[in-house]
Amino acid sequence: MSNPDLFSLKDRNIASALLFVAFLAGCSISPTPISTTRLIEPWLGLLPASQDESEPSQLSRGENQGTQSLPMAVIGTPTPDPFREPPQLRTEAESYIVQPGDSLNSIAIRFGVSANQIVQANAILNPDILSVWQALYIPAPQPQPPGPSHKILPDSELVFGPANRYVDIYSVVDHWYGYLRGYVEEVEGVEMSGAGIIHLVARRYSVNPLLLLGLLEYQGGWLTQHEPSPQSRLYPMGYVAYSWEGLFPQLSWAADQLNLG
């Protein structure tokens, strides 16, 4: 026959042992680990205080050496643009009185015609001189044929995308031994090469540098021709206007037009 006191004693011993084990387990629990991972602060892109902010930033040629252009394949079809109503064109000529601060180009843009149309319509001998309160005959704009319905250039090939960081403009220019290879121009107080100007404009306007290079070759032949025409050397992108001579102003104008669409 079992002794109740014996079981009570055994139960008390077991309970005490369990409490002791639990106490030891609690003492052996390691503290919550503290993460030793150091958070990396984002780079704010601040320039050193000693650097002149007026100096245009350009990627040195050495940073581009050793990289190769990656082959790119166009997959799929471009997303179609929504339909846009064409603007209503004037059908009749107008007269305009020159105001202080007006220029021939600003008047032409305002009325949707070219400066040459105004010059021819008014028999202006010197297009750089306009008299205040001078009356000008503004002809009606000539309708232009509609553009193609398909996208000639996808947006991915227009903008300065991630793939352009592998493009070595300097090597491309050196390969063709054209007029651009030896071209040097002062840009904002800094003497820059032709390839450096293309790279600067591409980054400043977020335009594909290869697109700028292709347009420069198409308009002025600077990439492959050793001696372009005097007109092409002065206005390589074909935009003839006062104070727009040289590669940097011409490329800046072209990049701005590309962004306008």
- The CATH number for 105's domain is 3.10.350.10
Tally of structural domains, the chain: 2
Over range 103-117, report the average pLDDT. 89
State residue 6's pLDDT score. Answer: 42
Confidence of residue 25 (pLDDT cuts 50, 70, 90): very low
Does 227 map to a domain?
A: yes
Q: Is residue 256 part of a domain?
A: yes
pTM summary value? 0.51
pLDDT at residue 45 in the model = 47
User: For residues 154 and 198, which has the higher predicted lDDT (pLDDT)?
Assistant: 198
Judge if 236 and 197 occupy the same domain. Answer: yes
121 assigned to some structural domain:
yes
Residue 197's pLDDT band (cuts 50, 70, 90): very high
Cα(254)–Cα(258) distance, rounded to whole angstroms?
6
Structural domain boundaries, residue 254? 154-260
Return the minimum-mean-pLDDT range out of 85-89, 136-140, 215-219, 248-252.
85-89
pLDDT tens for 71-100 read 555 556 666 677 777 777 788 889 999 999
Quote the mean pLDDT of the chain.
77
- Predicted confidence at residue 76, as pLDDT, reads 60
- Domain-located, residue 101: yes
Predicted local confidence at residue 260, as pLDDT = 83
Cα–Cα distance for residue pair 193/184, rounded to 1 Å: 5
Would you say 207 and 164 are in contact if contact means Cβ atoms under 8 Å apart? no
Segment 248-252 shows an average pLDDT of: 96
What's the distance, CA 66 to chain centroid?
A: 23
Mean pLDDT of 3-15: 50
Structural domain includes residue 24: no
The answer to whether position 32 is within a domain reads no
State yes or no: pLDDT of 125 exceeds 70: yes
For residue 137, give the H/E element and its range. strand 135-138
Q: Do 165 and 231 share a structural domain?
A: yes
In whole angstroms, what is the distance from residue 227 CA to residue 221 CA? 9
Model confidence pLDDT, tens digit, residues 30-56: 454 554 445 445 444 444 544 444 445
Q: What is the pLDDT of residue 73?
A: 54
Give the rounded percent of residues in the chain with a pLDDT score beyond 70: 67
The pLDDT of residue 78 is 64
Answer whether residue 178 shows pLDDT above 80.
yes
Q: Within this chain, do residues 134 and 168 fall inside the same structural domain, yes or no?
A: no
Distance CA 123, CA 134 (A): 13
Residue 24's φ and ψ, nearest 5 degrees, are -65, -40
Residues 133 and 158 grouped into a single domain: no
Torsions phi, psi of 185, nearest 5?
A: -145, 145
Q: What percent of the chain has pLDDT over 90?
A: 41
